[in-house]
Amino acid sequence: MVAVLGAGSWGTALAIVLADNGHDVRLWGQRQEQIDEINEKHTNEKYLPNIHLPETIVGYVDLAKALEGIETVVLAVPTKAIRDVLQRVRACKEQPITVVSVSKGIEPDTNKRISEIIEEEMGERLQDVVVLSGPSHAEEVSLRHPTTVTVSSKNMDAAERIQDLFMNHQYFRVYTNPDLIGVEIGGALKNIIALAAGITDGLGYGDNAKAALMTRGLAEMARLGSRLGANPLTFAGLTGIGDLIVTCTSVHSRNWRAGNMLGKGYALDDVLANMGMVVEGVRTTKAAYQLAKKMNVDMPITNALYDVLFNGKDVKSAVDSLMARGKTSELEDLANISL
Ligand SMILES: NC(=O)C1=CN([C@@H]2O[C@H](COP(=O)(O)OP(=O)(O)OC[C@H]3O[C@@H](n4cnc5c(N)ncnc54)[C@H](OP(=O)(O)O)[C@@H]3O)[C@@H](O)[C@H]2O)C=CC1
Ligand SMILES: O=C(CO)COP(=O)(O)O
């Protein structure tokens, strides 16, 4: 039995994988009408339209009931809600639990990764934290289309347990990677680059610009990541380039779609209000901008996006200023990363 906290698109899609793997799943959400829909109609139309949910997924609004007898919790709420939800979990759970973190972001101001927030909030009530990340849009997972992800943890025995829990030989293949920092940083930073790729697409700049953003974006992701202690090779894997590709090129991506609207001239507040789902890249841009300053790492795309999102810079001038930077060598960054 597994509890999934957060009945949005990703929590519901992962509940389907777990149910397909033969587990009873408790899916916790905060709105009674949504939970009634899950239990009575076996659908979650707002987040995964036209998908029939297995009947072994049972919805709960009562968190204490959802957690009764549970040892493994999948945490699938937006990063800004994580502390609040964990404090509620802590209040009703005495035995230590394993938390599987599937959200992607870095917390502004504290600049903490999600696994660090989980450790801080859960304290001695935490058995292990395992991160699951990779190129995986909920819409395609819920259709059982082939998908690959990676799990990582400080305790690789726990990671392997979670690999077994989610591994589905028909459509959901799970790898392991011991580089927890790299896995989390890649999953968080790719959302920044996807917002920027959406902007250049919205401006009508086409494939050259997008390829440039993805490639140079990956370089700055690896630059910050390696400074934070990640293995640079992780950025060449599923949670780096893999997730970057899917998020910059998929119509399902909330970050790409938000960027696309910004590129077309819509205001940030309007874009976020119309999305109806979380756009993690906005908060993460703030956190990465702060981290890059603190660690003295050059992140030109992140800085340009920060100016657009938080200083009201017009999107076209942000792209112009990226192009107008002084000349440099492509491999300079990579040469500074010690493998
Ligand atoms: N969607 C995807 O394909 C993927 C998403 N992710 C990551 O997963 C995380 C969740 O994203 P996703 O499922 O897409 O988000 P959605 O916007 O689809 O859903 C968010 C869910 O969280 C709930 N929620 C929000 N705030 C709270 C709160 N304070 N307490 C309890 N529940 C809350 C929402 O409830 P309500 O409906 O009541 O507002 C909703 O059920 C993000 O970090 C995202 O980056 C990772 C991989 C793939
Ligand atoms: O992380 C994701 C796919 O791997 C989801 O990205 P979006 O939040 O941009 O949809």
Q: What is the pLDDT of residues 85-96, one digit of tens each?
A: 999 999 998 899
pLDDT band at 337 (very low <50, low <70, confident <90, very high): low
The rounded distance, in Å, linking the Cα atoms of 123 and 120 is 6
**Of 4, 5, 9, which is best to mutate to test ligand 1, by the most ligand atoms within 8 angstroms of its C-beta?**
9
Q: Tell me what pLDDT residue 48 has.
A: 98
Domain 189-335 top-level CATH class: mainly alpha
Determine if ligand 2 sits within 6 Å of the CB of residue 243.
yes
Q: What is the pLDDT of residues 240-299, one digit of tens each?
A: 999 999 999 999 999 999 999 999 999 999 999 999 899 999 999 999 999 999 999 999
Q: Tell me what pLDDT residue 336 has.
A: 58
Determine if ligand 1 sits within 6 Å of the CB of residue 228.
no
Closest CA to 189 of 132, 113, 295: 113
Residues with active-site annotation: 190
Q: Tell me what pLDDT residue 339 has.
A: 46
Q: What is the pLDDT of residues 19-57, one digit of tens each?
A: 999 999 999 999 999 999 999 999 999 999 999 999 999
**Residue spans of alpha helices (H) in the chain:** 9-20, 32-40, 63-67, 82-92, 114-122, 138-141, 156-166, 180-202, 206-227, 243-249, 254-263, 268-275, 281-295, 300-310, 315-323, 332-335
CATH architecture assignment, domain 2-176:
3-Layer(aba) Sandwich (3.40)
The rounded distance, in Å, linking the Cα atoms of 300 and 216 is 9
Q: Tell me what pLDDT residue 329 has.
A: 87
Q: Whole-model pTM?
A: 0.97
pLDDT at position 334 over 70: no
- Tell me the CA–centroid distance for residue 253 and ligand 2, in Å: 5
Amino acid identity of 74? V
- Annotated binding-site residue? 6: yes
| Mean model confidence pLDDT for the chain | 96
The half-sphere exposure of 29 on its side-chain side, counting CA atoms within 13 A, is 24
- Annotated binding-site residue? 152: no
Closest CA to 77 of 278, 338, 333: 278
ipTM (interface pTM): 0.99
Q: Tell me what pLDDT residue 261 has.
A: 97
Asked if the domains 2-176 and 189-335 are classified in one and the same CATH topology, the answer is: no
Determine if ligand 2 sits within 6 Å of the CB of residue 254.
yes
Determine if ligand 1 sits within 6 Å of the CB of residue 84.
yes
Q: Tell me what pLDDT residue 331 has.
A: 78
Domain locations in the chain as residue ranges = 2-176, 189-335
- Annotated binding-site residue? 190: yes
Indicate the pairing of strand 57-60 with strand 72-75. Answer: unpaired
Q: Tell me what pLDDT residue 310 has.
A: 97
